[in-house]
Structures are given as structure tokens and as C-alpha cells.
Structure 1
């Protein structure tokens, strides 16, 4: 069939800093999805967008075209309102695990379509697959049933949701066009809007372990996504949250599951509890449920009950022992003093090199690999005391992980104070 546009003309328009028309955007997304626009042409267009940006109108239309490339889920038949959370990814970010069952226990359905880790940021599905028997792939019918019965589901997105994004994401990954606000915002929001949730809370990380290293970039991404959500009729709020230092005391798959269960049992690290409760309050309010405080629900143990039911519904055994790595290596504090810095990126890369993450989408991950932190910034440490323990099945991985940690932590004389960002830095609505 003859095409209404020529890909070269669309590329040239964006190269020359022109605004693409709605018709051009609709055509290019559709034609790329069906293979009429070649990979090298889409690569050129992605780079032109990366270099020259997009207007808010272009971003909104691009997002809408990606949504229309596939199916849309409809949760209107459920007996309770829906709310979802998306995190832009970080180190030790296990928040989805305690959050989904906690919000479900507050009377809100949580359809949490999650992904796998790539590079130094962990993936929710990889973490949950450390639980014996648990499965990530559910049909739409299974997902609907579980949302009605349990109230929460964490699973892989089906191939039918925003297929244009799936194709474009893989392309951006290999063409140096990942860190581009219009392309990140449209990628995230096309999936979340197609998913059909009524309310959405965005956890936009900021700091060394995040995609957005500085506050201005994080703010731009968050406000772009909030506007896209609102334009699509989804109640959308964003929290900018701290990713200078890892979240919690564990980084890795099984290690993070264990810590998540501790949070649901009423313990766990204070930063993980604080962020879980803050996001839960936003999700519950966004869904229009009042008179319920997630902090009280967490303390009552009802979140833990929902967790057990959620894991069992997907074939997992909530009582099974979690995998433990075969080898460990302890990093000791070099001197007495105060730990004033623990860089999230350094810890994330070290954990990845231990086998907790993957370099390519098809790589396997080790369930037991990762890092346990024995101190967080602000802690007084003694020389020779354990700072962190590294875990892996393959001891030859320790050397490269230790290289990643060089310069990644700083111990200052006693009395020093770390320059700490709060957990929740800002709220955008």
C-alpha cells in the first residue's frame, strides 16, 4: 500500500527543529509498529528527538499514538477503585513488594505491571522470581480474577500493551537515546495509561543511582508525566524521592524480598517504611478512598495477609526459604568515624557485577546475589567493623564488584554530618 508520508521527510522535519503534526506522529508510530518504517529510520528520528526535543503537544500525541498501537485494559468491572505506582528505577528499590499488598489491604485494587532489571537498576519481577514457584506471566483473565479476589497483582505486562513502546524501547537502548525526557515520559505513560488504572502515583528518583541525577531533570520528567496522565483522564501525582544512597539495607533479588517481608511484618529499615507509607497514602487518596491510614493498616498485619495471598495466587510459597548465594565477602570500615556517603550508583553497579542484574535483556540473574549494608550514611562506624557483605555464587565476581565500590563510600572524622536529602524531596500534582 502507498504510505501517506515518507519517513525521510518526518526525520528531516525533526532534524530541522520543526514540530511534527498529529498526522505525522500517528503515521510514524503505526508504520514503525507494522515494519513500514525501518529500524535505522526510527533510530535517526529518535536521535533527532533526543537532540531537538518535543513540545508538550507532540509528547501528548506521541504517547497517545503508542497507546493506540495495542490493547487497553478495562478495570471498570472491578468492585473497587484502581491505583498504580511507577518508579523510574533505583538501587535497593523494593518498594513495590510491600506497597501493592498494603494498598490492597486498604481497599484499593493494585494492577502492578512490572518489568525486569537492566544494568544497575533492579527489576521487580526478578526479585519476586526468587520466591519458589512464583510466576510472572498471567493472562488478562487471571489478572482480573486476582484483582477481584486478592486486590493486588504484580506481573509482567502482556505483549498486547503498547507494542510500539516495546519495539522503540529496545531500539533506544542500543542507540544512545534512552535519557531523553519526551521519550522516557511517553514510554512510561503509554504503558501506564494503556493499563487502564484510574489513579497513578509516580515515584521519580533523583540522585546518583537514578536515571535523573539532578533535581531539575527529575522535576521536568515528573511534571511532563503528570500532565500526560491528567490529559488522559488519569488522576496523577508524582513524588521526587532520594536515590543518592540505596534504599534500605539490601540490594539484590532474594535479599530484597526478605527485607520487604520484614517491612510487612512491622519491622524493616525506616527509609523503606517511610517511602512505602508515603506512596500508599497517595495511592489510596488518588483512588478516592478516605478514612484509612496505610500506616495503621501496616501495623495491623493486614498488609502481610494480602502479601501471602498475592504470592500464593501466582503459584509462590510465602513460607519457602529464599535462595542464599554460595559465597560471601565482607567489606570492613577502613577507619573510625562517621559514614557520610554511600553512593547508590557504586553499590548498584557492584551488585550487578555480583550477578544480581543483567547486561542484556536475555541474561539470567542470580537470585541470591547482591549486597547487604551494615551501615547507612549518618552511622558511626569503627575501623575493622563490617560495612557491607557481598554475596554471589561465583567468587571470581568479587574483584570487579570491589572495583565498583572504590570511592563509593566516605568515612569522615567523628562529629561530621552527612548532607542527606529527605526521602521524599518534593510532590508534584
Structure 2
């Protein structure tokens, strides 16, 4: 075991709270430990809010520890009240099971389930929560916790005034039971989670102590905040997903390349496997010439490659450069669909006029034929990156990129996508 692993986690700012830090550090530095993180399937994909705990599992595995990724097929049907202002919507068993499978597939990209020394474990708490009877649960788990103890948890206190159902109130018991079962099944002694999970984690440690007379450990990571006060993990109000169908690799890359100068070094420590000396050198160069955005480029490269692979990272670079230079014609159909996702789109049919002037009006790029004519004559219209000023211009097959798209730009920044059907 590496004697400086725990200190490195501290130096990266990845440790917010621990239970019995001295004993945990000794355990981590002297022997392999089994640890887990839970992921409730509340959607069909994980998002970058999950990335820090996923990468923590990977960090532990790289140091010879055994990570257990617990998919919450059971708890996902209840909903964790931690730091939530209102009750979650309950989902059906079939939906939760479908989402659980998607999450399993995603997790396998980050942690190694075939590792020779410390193969990761994939577990699903529906395996034990789905079959336990209410009477057994109340007798074996509920008897270990007083109402006063449960009420003292921050996740519960925050919701008492606005209201919390018994269903969500009992969530901490389910998570505590997970820790107990993972200890029984795998010898798991450490639970990781976000700082909002502290109450649930300590409940699990308490249950282990009472039922098995063993010392479990808890470690929480900091809540990620952005310097500008906006919520981390959102771009233009939408979540940044790990699924490339929900957030394209180009959008994903753009999220990281646009990181605030005040956050970028912290994020390099959190989200990349660059060494601390490497990050210190990037920081030195970044401070000397922040306008070159070296730190943002390093961050975007590392995280995009980690999540989507080098090919998709290079593709995101190509899209970015093509959009910046106006070399739209160099883009493939897939790159166009990524780079122009979300821009106004018009489907050109065989019944539509192919005169560019008419298309500008029917696609609502211009408000009238007069406006369209003026835009063309004034040089405000670009077709696939090239200025068009001919009022009588006719769209031909040569204007269809990959045989299916044309990109129109009006002015400096307003893009429109034509698709041909």
C-alpha cells in the first residue's frame, strides 16, 4: 500500500469529513480495504455530479483497494431526502431496473471489474432490499435506531418544516442496511459519499458497530461549488450527462473548456489523474499567461478523454476549430449534428423552393423577403462558412454537407441548420 495515498487525497482537496481519521489513514496505508459508493438510478444516465465519487473509486483501485459500486435498485424506488427541498417522484420497478442496467454499463468504463489484483465489485441493493420482509427489517434494523437519533440528521432536520414522508424518513435505515450487507457479503469497511451523505453514512457505521461489533469508516467529499455562484454540473440550465446521446462529447468538452479561471486548478485536482507536480506546473504557466487558457485546455482534454475516449476528444477539438475558423465544410455529418445541437433547425422538403432567399424566409431566418434580400446584399448571410451575396442563389446538392445538412449563419453568431429530407 502507498503510504502517501491519504495525504494525496487531502492535498487534492478531496476529503471533507472522515470518521476516525487516524485509524482510517492507518488502515488505508497498511492494507487493502474494500469500500463502496452508492448510485441511485434516478435517471437513465449518470451525470457529472456523479463524476467525483466515480473517480474516487478509481483512485482507490489504482492504489490496490477494492471498490464496490452499489447500484441502488432498491433505494432508487424510495428516494434520498438529503439536501432535497421536496419529495422525489416515485418510479416503477421496471423503470428503476432499466436505469440500473444503464448505470452499471457506465460505471464499467471507469473502474476495472477484471483487475487481477483488486477487481471491482458491482452490487445492486435490490438483491437484499427487494426480498426482506417489513417485520424482519423493523426487528433487525429499526430496533437499532431511536427516533431522536434519526431526527438529529441534517437531511431530516432540513425537511421537517416543509414536510417529509415516512418513506423518505426511513431512507437512512435502508442505506445503513446496505453497509451491513456489503460488510457481510464482501467485508466492506468504508463508505464514500458527497458531504450531503454524512448522516446516512454515520447511520451505517452505527449499525455495523451494534450488529457486528466492527469499526466501519466514512469519508465524504466536498460539495462542488463554482466561483460564479452557479450550480456545478449544469450548462444553460441543463444537466451535463455522461451518456453521449444526452450530452454530446462536443457539449461535454465545451462545459470544461469554459471553466472559470477561479475554479480550473481546483477542478484539475478533483477530476484528473495528472500528478500534483504536473498540475502545479500547469498552474505556473496559467498564471503567467491566463489568456492562453492552458489550464482549461488541459482540464477539457483529460476529462473528455476519460469519459468519452481520445477519438471523441479530438472530434470535439475539430468541431471547435471549424466553428471558430468558419471551415464548416470540413465537418462530418456526426460532427455537424454535435456542433449544432440545439440551434434552430428547419427541415427542407421537396416541396420547398431551393432559392436561398425563399429558404431564409420559410426557415424564419429572416422575417420577410425584403429582410432576406437586404441580409444577402449586405453580406450578412453565410452558407457553410462562405458568404453569399447573390439574391438569386439556388441551393444545390453541392451545398448539402454529407448529403444532408446546410449550415446558415446570419451575422456574427446566429446559426441555423437546414436538414434535407
* TM-score range for the pair, normalised by the shorter chain length: 0.3 to 0.5
Report the TM-score when normalising by structure 2.
Answer: 0.32
Bigger radius of gyration: 2
For CA contacts below 8 A with separation 6 or more, give which structure has more relative contact order.
1
Give the structure with the higher percent helix.
2
